[in-house]
Structure 1
Amino acid sequence: MVEQPGSARSLMLVLHDVAPETWPDYQPFVQAIDALGNVPMTWLVVPDFHHRNALTRSPTFCRLLERRLACGDELALHGYYHADDGPPPRGPGEFFMRRLYTHEGEFYRLDQAQALQRLEAGLALFGQQGWPVAGFVAPAWLMSAGTRQALRQLPLRYTSTPQHLYRLPDFTAYSAPGLVWSARSAWRRGLSKVLSDWQCRRWRDAPTLRLGLHPVDMRHASARNYWLDTLQQLLAEGREPLTKSTWLARQATR
């Protein structure tokens, strides 16, 4: 059963794929958001993005994330490598999900032990940095059954998919529809805008709406401006910006 959120209107601004190499993409956009005032964000942090961005080797970036926490933002665990480095796909269905849909579904094929090992490594890194962590989001939102089993064993409070937030460990589902772009090519950006405009109309009265941003969005003016304009429009309509943790905590007290 999917729980329906309370009637208060809100939004969640979520930055995916946060790593030292993606920060230059995000920096101008984050500065623009900061200029709007108090708009807390959820940063989905990858401990070692594509095996070449270990946070342990980036103390300056880690200090930046600490400043964001002090400003009221939230850091969540977003995979470990954000790369699908498992055995080759088996069958056409798996080939589609792991090679055509995405190359970054890190947790799509992991068994429980493998998933638990990476999750615990990510949580240990957060702990070493002194960062609180309540949530985990799988790269491309793809989670194996083993990953779900592993999440039930850990002191995390939530995970999410494109349309829901799940309270852990029982995976209670809350409706939280999200907008996301595919910005890798001009035709994808055009289609993403059409789809997102339609979704905004469809979900106009939804109690909450998530904006899921990616670094590639920031490299194209049409995508970057869309997110900034949409955020400002939703704020003007009276939606309260919240981190994922804050939003979920409010559902738990209803």
Structure 2
Amino acid sequence: MKEKRLLFSIHDVGPAFEGQVDRLVDHVAPYVRLDRTAMLVVPNHWGDHPISARSPFAGRVRRWAESGAEIFLHGWFHRDGASHGGLGARFKAQHMTAGEGEFLGLDLATARQRLADGRALIEEITGQPIAGFVAPAWLYGEPALTALEELGFPIAEDHMKIWSPMTGQTLARGPVMTWASRSKLRMASSLAVAYLLPPLLHRSENFRVAVHPGDTTQPAIMLSINDVLQRAVLTRRPSRYGHLLDD
């Protein structure tokens, strides 16, 4: 029987949320070490917070990587500037994110360019191969999926699975546990899911937990994150996404 894993990620890592990211790292430290944490870096959040290779924040990213954190690319702007023609895409853009599904409506050339530029930036900063890519809001259009495959990213994930664009292989299945803080209704529903979902996924080999800087603004969410991780590590080993490739 394979070992059960906990896969943990911090989204929206960038200078706009530096203090919140630090707080999340400290908050989860009793359960998940930094070298078992995936950090999802946004190169220029909403076009207002660019990271250059020699900036002070780039130095922080490099030190996290040197401490063993897996550094993923997480979009480029983390903002959706596309117009969506299909009903499915429009529904996702309007209801599954607050205007942040950047890679949902990109054409192939733009998706390829942002992926290539993002990977080059992160690898220049860290001096290491990139760990992978996660689209903002876990939303991908077909051109983005094609670009990931063409560029040979080692790992990507969406709401329901992790896969290797390089090989096309599905590495893990199952929903990701995350929280929403945009409204009281969304927060209440995510807290309910956080209480109910872990027992339902007891038999799954891999359990994903993703947190965001906005979670730090809600004490109830921070308590819920603590509860989920405390329960998870009783039966699961915090692991790196890269271990899935070893399988």
Return the TM-score normalized by structure 2.
0.90
Residues 174-204 of structure 1 deviation map (CA, whole Å, 9 limit, x = unaligned):
2143201112222221111112222112101
Counterpart of 1:19 in structure 2 is 14
Counterpart of 2:224 in structure 1 is 226
State the shift of 1:36 in Å. Answer: 4.9
Residues 75 and 131, structure 1, Cα contact 8 Å, conserved in 2 = no
Counterpart of 1:243 in structure 2 is 240
* Structure 1 unaligned residues grouped into runs of 5+: 1-5
What are the within-5 Å matches in structure 2 for residues 58-137 of structure 1? 59-86=55-82, 88-90=83-85, 93-102=88-97, 103-129=99-125, 130-137=127-134
Q: 1:83 to 1:113 in 2, by over 3 A?
A: same
For 1:177 and 1:122, the matched residues in 2 are separated by 26
Q: 1:101 to 1:33 in 2, by over 3 A?
A: closer
Select between 75-84 and 20-29 the one with higher mean Cα deviation: 20-29
Counterpart of 1:215 in structure 2 is 213
Residues 140-172 of structure 1 deviation map (CA, whole Å, 9 limit, x = unaligned):
111111111111111321111112100122322
For 1:178 and 1:226, the matched residues in 2 are separated by 15
Residues 107 and 144, structure 2, Cα contact 8 Å, conserved in 1 = yes
State the shift of 1:128 in Å. Answer: 2.3
Percent same amino acid at aligned positions?
28
For 1:100 and 1:233, the matched residues in 2 are separated by 30
Residues 20 and 58, structure 1, Cα contact 8 Å, conserved in 2 = no
For 2:106 and 2:220, the matched residues in 1 are separated by 36
Q: 1:120 to 1:221 in 2, by over 3 A?
A: same
State the shift of 1:58 in Å. Answer: 7.2
State the shift of 1:127 in Å. Answer: 2.7
Return the TM-score normalized by structure 1.
0.88
Correspondent of 1:183 among 154, 162, 181:
181
AA partner of residue 131 (structure 2): A
Q: 1:32 to 1:182 in 2, by over 3 A?
A: closer
For 1:37 and 1:97, the matched residues in 2 are separated by 31
AA partner of residue 219 (structure 2): A
* Structure 2 unaligned residues grouped into runs of 5+: none
For 1:202 and 1:37, the matched residues in 2 are separated by 22
For 2:47 and 2:53, the matched residues in 1 are separated by 12
For 2:84 and 2:162, the matched residues in 1 are separated by 28
State the shift of 1:138 in Å. Answer: 0.8
For 1:214 and 1:38, the matched residues in 2 are separated by 17
For 1:241 and 1:150, the matched residues in 2 are separated by 30
For 1:96 and 1:209, the matched residues in 2 are separated by 27
Select between 214-223 and 29-38 the one with higher mean Cα deviation: 29-38
State the shift of 1:92 in Å. Answer: 5.2
2:168 maps to 1:171: yes
Q: Secondary structure at the match of 1:230?
A: helix
Q: Secondary structure at the match of 1:105?
A: coil
- How much is the aligned-residue C-alpha RMSD, in angstroms? 2.0
For 1:89 and 1:150, the matched residues in 2 are separated by 19
Correspondent of 1:51 among 47, 50, 60:
47
